[in-house]
Amino acid sequence: MEIRTILGRGLDGKRTLTRMSRSLIIQRVTGLLLVLGVLVLLNPLKADIVHRLLFPLMAMLGCALILRSVLAIALASATLAVLAINFSGDVYQARVYPALALVAFLVVTLELARRFRDRIKNSHAQRWAPRKQEQKQEQK
């Protein structure tokens, strides 16, 4: 697996080097091509299943390949699904989009809970290290 070095700017404005594997670059380019293909082919005025459901899901998959972040994709999906909800509209607007929004919000909730648990677990040892030091000193 070949490693490519990409020159970029960090948050502080300084130049940084980021290493990306070839497979990651291929995934991101594939995602970009998928999103661009959907944008070219999508006709929001058509009411068939391809244009109303399949193309947006393909765009979401392309974004997932580009970003590689479950939380970002779930937040974007939930936002777009909520904006498309119309309970007096057709079956996509009345049933599919609310279900998609519900699943996306569930994914957001689970991902945030997982990140919170991981952060607490990782900082647990750091929080207890001074207390353990104090206990050892008291025992002596």
pLDDT one digit per residue (tens) for the chain, 140 residues: 444 445 555 555 555 555 667 788 888 899 999 999 988 988 878 878 888 778 888 888 898 888 888 888 888 888 888 887 888 888 777 888 899 899 999 999 999 999 999 888 888 877 887 877 888 787 76
Classified as helix, coil or strand, 13 is coil
* The predicted structure's pLDDT at residue 112: 93
**For the CA atoms of 76, 77, 82, 83, what is the dihedral angle to 10 degrees?**
60
- C-alpha–C-alpha distance, residues 126 and 133, integer Å: 12
**pLDDT, position 1:** 43
Q: Give the helix ranges, DSSP H, for the chain.
A: 22-41, 49, 55-67, 70-84, 91, 97-139
pLDDT of residue 106: 95
